Amino acid sequence: MGCKQNPLLPGKAIVAEIRQETPDVKTLRVVAADGGELFDYQPGQCAMVSLFPVGEALFSITSSPTRQGFLEFSIKNTGMLTRALHEIEPGAFIGVRGPYGKGFPYDLMKGKDLLFIGGGIALAPLRSLINYCLDNRHEYGKIEIIYGARSAADLVQRVELLENWPKCTDTHVYLTVDAASPDWTGNVGFVPAFLEQLNPSPAGKITITCGPPVMIKFVLQSLAKMNYQPENIFTTLEMKMKCGIGKCGRCNIGDKYVCKDGPVFSLAQLQQLPPEF
């Protein structure tokens, strides 16, 4: 059996480019070692990234499938593997397998206004869909992006957030930081409070949110207060995973495996599951 038949065997990949996003976040651009495509994917899907012989973990694919030839992963220096991934140089050999999970229902979102609400490193999965929609701009309505980070220095994808996205047609970016630095002129405060302050209308809108578990929890409460309907709210969850193919057991929420049935869930779906994420 070779790579294609054994789903637990990583595909060979090379790190083509590394961007330092923030003091503790790097974005790795990865290409197939044989020069081809690693695999096709949809916005919101994930992949297992291996660094030998350190280990393997699941990361959301932050690039958009509309931009072919590479995959991008935004990785926060948090644990053993991510620390090691922060130490590699361009040209490093890594393993990638995937894609895993169900992506965002971007077909269902066609013709709708989109509200993205993100916090910290969790812009990564949203970015894939944002760039997908911007690359198919005519198929989607107004795009609003509310994004928060701990400080101005912790804003990831700074060029896109500050320069590229605000220039796109009918696309609005609202930024907030938890703690202001002297050079910060924007909003200061947590994402849920900023969302309530901006108070975007739920009419004709689909909301996609991702952030630390505690941010997601309070954002969902704020959206409920603002009369957003559970079936029009999507989030993408993260769980510790090992296999990615629904065998190793740990990523379950009730009878759903985040690696197979998620990571994208509508709030209506989440409300049917035990509150254990």
Partner 1 sequence: MKLSKDKLADFLAAIPGKTVFGPQLSGETLRFTPVTRPGNLCPTVNNATVPPKSVVFPQTETMFRFEQGATDIRTAEPSGETVLFGVRPCDARAMSIVDNVFFWDVDDPYYLIRRTNSALVGLACLDPCVNCFCTSMGGGPASTEGLDILLTDLGESYLLEVLTGKGEMLCQSAEKLLSQASSADKEAAKMLQEKAAAQISRQIDPSGIPARLPALWESPIWEKISASCLGCGICTYLCPTCHCFDMQDETEGEESRRYRTWDSCMFSEYTLHASGHNPRPTRRERTRNRINHKFSYFVDKFKVMACVGCGRCINLCPVNIDILDILSQVGEQAL
Give residues in contact with partner 1 (CB under 8 A).
1-2, 5-10, 12, 33, 50, 52-57, 78-79, 81-82, 93, 95, 212-213, 238-240, 242-243, 245-250, 252-255, 260, 274, 276-277
- Closer residue to partner 1 in complex, CB, 64/235: 235
Contact present, 82 and 134 (Cβ < 8 Å): no
Least spacing, CB of residue 237 vs partner 1, in Å: 9
Least Å from the CB of residue 227 to partner 1? 27
CB of 150 to partner 1, least distance (A): 13
Please give the Cα distance from 103 to 62 (Å, whole number).
12
Q: Which two tokens stand for residue 171?
A: 């696309």
Residue closer to partner 1 by CB (options 160, 238) is 238
Nearer to partner 1, 109 or 121 (CB): 121
| In the complex, minimum distance from the CB of residue 113 to partner 1, in angstroms, rounded to a whole number | 31
CB of 1 to partner 1, least distance (A): 6
Choice between 101 and 200, CB closer to partner 1: 101
Closer Cβ to partner 1, 13 or 233, answer by number = 13
